[in-house]
Amino acid sequence: MMAAPHIPGLVGSLPKLRGRSQADAPLAPFTWFRAGGPADVLIRPADTNDLAAFLGALPHDVPVHVIGACSNLIVRDGGLPGVTIRLARGFSTIAQDGDGMIAGAAALDVTVSEHAAASGLTGLEFLSGIPGSIGGAVAMNAGAYGGDMAAVLDWVEIVTRTGDQRRLAAARLALAYRHATMPAGAVVTRVRLRGMPGASGLIGARMADIKAAREASQPIRSRTGGSTFRNPDGMKAWELIETAGCRGLTRGGAMVSEKHCNFLINTGNATAADIEGLGEEVRRRVFAATGIRLDWEIRRVGIPAGKPEVVAHCARDVVAHGVREIMP
């Protein structure tokens, strides 16, 4: 499907907003890849009522995108047409609620896990190993280190594209592996996560173990977008990528991580086209080598611009699977 074109003069025709709006707003500084084009208009609603009033008055033919921490996102170089919503300060509160935590959609996953630990609640430690915000974690049923949102989510509050505010039980979202069924155009604003009383020492030790495991196995200090591809049933995406010989593969300024080959890295000057193009090349080579098609876990949004650089090299020759790479 072709992306919608940019809308000239959009900012002057938008509904009133108590929060902030910015035309032709750079988005690359928000993304963990530090790449990509601008938004026609970027808005930061003051609170849920502000967001609901804005969406209710916004013409339905104006495209709407929602971004959070942008830890698992590629914004294409041509940018995002229409309105891009970024939830910020008014959506980041966190509070204990009996045996659970109520958190705004903009609250960072790791911060929610820390608040739960401070409240003596266990079951949410896995969030400390997931980069990103709670709203995004719900939208993709994020999970890691033996836990996922489906196991702890009680309810989610949303604002619909028509401006209605609703609370949905977790069962309404049909949560599955890296997937949640949300009403079209809905924006997550707040959630309740279920925990249970636990020993603070054990909770802290578990979180320390998760932190150590991440630092040992993932390129967390690089410009990366987290896990690139979903794990196929009964398989590990990184093992398939390794089998296809793509560890260290480069395209322009993008590279498949040497440390964890299900991570793509911006080595310094990568465009979004470099990063997405490298991911597509990895998918092609994995299919050629194994017959398995990898599905993206990273969201890719916006309008492409230009063509990616050619593939430079792989880390080693791959002859056994019918693909030969030329070493640099």
**Above pLDDT 70, what percent of the chain?**
91
Mean pLDDT over each residue of the chain, to the nearest integer: 90
User: Does pTM surpass 0.75?
Assistant: yes
Per annotation, catalytic residue among 114, 157, 281, 297: 297
Q: Supply the pLDDT for residue 221.
A: 85
Q: Supply the pLDDT for residue 4.
A: 54
- The pLDDT-based confidence of 314 (bands split at 50, 70, 90) is very low
Q: How would you class 69 by CB atoms within 10 Å of its CB: exposed for 0-12, middle for 13-18, buried for 19 or more?
A: buried
CA 126 to chain centre: 16
CATH fold for the domain made of 223-301? 3.90.78
More confident residue, 12 or 71: 71
Q: How many CA atoms does the CB half-sphere of 246 hold within 13 Å?
A: 30
Q: Supply the pLDDT for residue 132.
A: 92
Q: Supply the pLDDT for residue 13.
A: 85
Is the predicted pLDDT of residue 3 greater than 70, yes or no?
no
| pLDDT (tens digit per residue) in 77-102 | 999 999 999 998 899 999 999 999 99
Q: Which of 230, 205, 86 is nearest to 144 (CA)?
A: 230
| pLDDT (tens digit per residue) in 140-158 | 999 999 999 999 999 999 9
Q: Supply the pLDDT for residue 9.
A: 72
10 Å Cβ neighbour count for 176? Answer: 11
Q: CA-to-CA distance for 42 and 66, rounded, in angstroms?
A: 10
Domain spans in the chain, listed from the N-terminal domain onward: 10-89, 91-215, 223-301
| pLDDT (tens digit per residue) in 52-69 | 999 999 999 999 999 999
Whose tokens are 């008014």? That residue is 90
Q: CA-to-CA distance for 260 and 267, rounded, in angstroms?
A: 15
| pLDDT (tens digit per residue) in 156-203 | 999 999 999 999 999 999 999 989 999 989 999 999 999 999 999 999
- The pLDDT-based confidence of 5 (bands split at 50, 70, 90) is low
Q: Supply the pLDDT for residue 307.
A: 57
Per annotation, catalytic residue among 34, 161, 172, 178: 178
**CATH no. of 91-215:** 3.30.465.10
What mean pLDDT do residues 244-262 have?
96
Judge whether 227 counts as a catalytic residue. yes
| pLDDT (tens digit per residue) in 212-221 | 999 999 998 8
Q: How many CA atoms does the CB half-sphere of 100 hold within 13 Å?
A: 11
Beta strand 80-86 with 64-67 is: parallel
The CA-atom distances, in angstroms, between 238 and each of 148, 217, 252, 264, 286 are 20, 12, 21, 11, 10
Q: CA-to-CA distance for 301 and 272, rounded, in angstroms?
A: 10
Q: Which two tokens stand for residue 243?
A: 């089998």
Q: CA-to-CA distance for 246 and 236, rounded, in angstroms?
A: 14
Q: What is the CA radius of gyration of the chain?
A: 20
**CATH no. of 10-89:** 3.30.43.10
Q: Which of 204, 92, 215, 193 is nearest to 141 (CA)?
A: 193
One fold for 10-89 and 91-215: no
Q: Supply the pLDDT for residue 11.
A: 77
Under a CB-based contact definition with an 8 Å cutoff, are residues 199 and 207 in contact? Answer: no
The CA-atom distances, in angstroms, between 97 and each of 25, 120, 192 are 37, 12, 8
Per annotation, catalytic residue among 44, 227, 257, 325: 227
